[in-house]
Amino acid sequence: SKEVCGGIGDRVLSMIKAFYFAIATGRVLLIDSMFPTPLSNYLNPNFVQWNATFPKTNKTIDDMNLHQTILPRKSVVGYVLGRCNGPGSLKLTTLLRSTNVQELLQPGEEMSVSRGFYQAFWALFHFDKEVVKRADEMKTNAGLGLPQNNGATMPFVGLHIRHGDSAMVGSEGGGETKDESQPLS
């Protein structure tokens, strides 16, 4: 809901967890993310066609609840997952250890959280061309654009550091946090 909408990182993590939940329960994943702006303005389907048209339903089941057993719910045609992220929701590690996900791995192979996140993100999404264009402009304007491959810019890593919200250890939400950063020498 709009009242509990997190940032893009929280929403993407929820979608990745929902992806593994769909695998764990043998279901199809469809994403309808329109708030605060349509997800398709930034991320488009890559290998998984998650934006297919589907019949609307008012049925919401809190299957991502930490205390809920992962069930396939074969008698239910379609439903909306309850909140997928937060302290009371299933962890990505739990979903990665589910039987159906484990059956996709080679014998003896393990799936780390970082690998699971990476693989699910790129299976689900590719960046919209306007996002890539704007990122390239920003890199060039910041002096980070090193030409390669017919004028395309070098890949880069962006970092967002959260300060002063309830996601930070020791913060009660919205309060000041001590900045312990040191100047680079």
pLDDT digits (tens, 9 = 90+) for 47-56: 999 988 878 8
- Per-residue pLDDT band for 21 (boundaries 50, 70, 90) equals very high
CA angle in degrees (0–180, nearest 5) for 160-162-168: 145
In this predicted structure, the answer to whether residue 35 has a pLDDT above a threshold of 70 is yes
Q: What is the model's pTM?
A: 0.74
Distance, CA of 165 to CA of 75 (rounded, Å): 41
Rounded CA gap, 81 and 61, in Å?
A: 5
Taking only the tens place, the pLDDT of each residue in 61-80 is 999 988 888 888 888 888 88
Q: What CA–CA distance (Å, rounded) separates 31 from 51?
A: 6
Question: What are the C-alpha distances in Å from 146 to residues 48, 121, 134, 140, 156?
Answer: 32, 26, 16, 8, 10
User: Are 93 and 113 spatial neighbours (Cβ–Cβ below 8 Å)?
Assistant: yes
pLDDT tens digits for range 119-166: 999 999 999 999 888 888 887 787 776 666 565 656 666 665 555 444
pLDDT exceeds cutoff 60 at 177 = no
| Secondary structure (H, E, C), 111-172 | CCHHHHHHHHHHHHEEECHHHHHHHHHHHHHCCCCCCECCCECCCCCCCCCCCCCCCCCCCC
Please tell me the number of Cα atoms within 13 Å of 175 on its side-chain side: 10
